Structure 1
Amino acid sequence: MAAKKTNAMRILDGLKIKYETLAYDDDGEHELSRGAAERIAEKLGIDPAACFKTIVMRTESKQIVVFCQSATHEINLKKARQACGAKEINPVKPDELLALTGYIRGGCSPLGMKRKFPTFIDESALNFEKIYISAGVRGEQIVIAPQDLVKATSAETVDLVL
């Protein structure tokens, strides 16, 4: 278990949802174009398809929405727009992420953000017994049953694959 509990872990504890944590050596490289989530999976020796990245986006009406997508896939913006009922959707800028969510890039968890945002998890998560998500800090992942993550985030599972 982690040395220090994150907001994400406290939420899971409060809901009495079982989870584990895995630590990895964080090299500070979190650019989307460089496949940060895939590198985390490689460091942990886990299937990258079971490692889910958290993507925070903003709609044309300024609504913030959260998506969880497998490290092995790009998010399909058309499907993301359909899922949340938006005409336009764009990723939140990295310098806005901390103020909006309480998390920094590379340590953004779908659990424990400053506010509860509509959350959508790619349905491929349900193909796994356990998936891996950020624990809310760089260098640590939460290992959780996908159904438990859906419950904890009040998420919808949808097809988000490009």
Structure 2
Amino acid sequence: MTPAVQALKRAKIDYQLLYYEHDANADSFGGEAAAKLNLDPHAMYKTLIACDEQNPRNMVVAIVPVAGHLDLKKLAKAAGIKKMKMADPALAEKTTGYIKGGISPIGQKKRLPTFLDESAEALEHIYVSGGKRGLTLEIAPKPVMTLLNGKFVPIAAA
């Protein structure tokens, strides 16, 4: 049971667990999950950790479709930070308590400001990492964003 699943249970938020066999040679964790679970890559979301260029410990969570990319300028604007970059993977792992490729937006060790691309607002369910490679959560985006005190914002690159 990952911290993500425990957090959803505590909050009484409905979810479904989806498992797949992770391939250590996969170059895209989210893409691998979408392909192996036969999911629409526009409904499968990747969890990325970005940080303030001037203060790398000032991190935020960005959740965007695996079919697209994160727009760091849009994320910086949403987060009220002048300029952002992707966080160092080791620091992201230490801060969230999850490993790269298994970082869930839910149940992180340290609660970070969380931004979900606005495309998710129109979907009944989205798919995100369940907190380890090979585990995906099917969740309704609105209750989860309420739990995370997150915001729906336009942060995906067109």
TM over 0.5: yes
Q: TM-score, normalised by structure 2?
A: 0.93
Pairwise CA distance, 1:153: 1.2
1:50 is the counterpart of 2:43: yes
Task: List alignment gaps of at least 5 residues for structure 2.
Answer: none
Q: Give the alignment's Cα RMSD to 1 decimal.
A: 1.2
Identity %: 35
Return the alpha-carbon distance in structure 2 between the equivalents of residues 39 and 75 of structure 1. 18
Match of 1:146 in 2: 141
Mapping for residues 1-162 of structure 1, pairs under 5 Å: 5-29=1-25, 34-59=27-52, 60-61=54-55, 62-162=57-157
Q: TM-score, normalised by structure 1?
A: 0.91
Return the alpha-carbon distance in structure 2 between the equivalents of residues 66 and 135 of structure 1. 15
**Which amino acid in the other structure matches residue 140 of structure 2?**
A
Q: Output one character per residue of 1:107-135: Cα deviation in whole Å (capped at 9) or x when no partner.
A: 00011111111000001011211100001
Pairwise CA distance, 1:75: 0.7
Pairwise CA distance, 1:98: 2.0
Aligned residues: 155
Return the alpha-carbon distance in structure 1 between the equivalents of residues 93 and 69 of structure 2. 23
Return the alpha-carbon distance in structure 2 between the equivalents of residues 121 and 16 of structure 1. 21
Return the alpha-carbon distance in structure 2 between the equivalents of residues 9 and 35 of structure 1. 23
**Which amino acid in the other structure matches residue 143 of structure 1?**
E
Contact 1:131 1:144 in 2 (8 A): yes
Task: List alignment gaps of at least 5 residues for structure 1.
Answer: none
3-state SS of the aligned residue for 1:58? strand
Runs of 4 or more, structure 1, over 4 Å off, are none
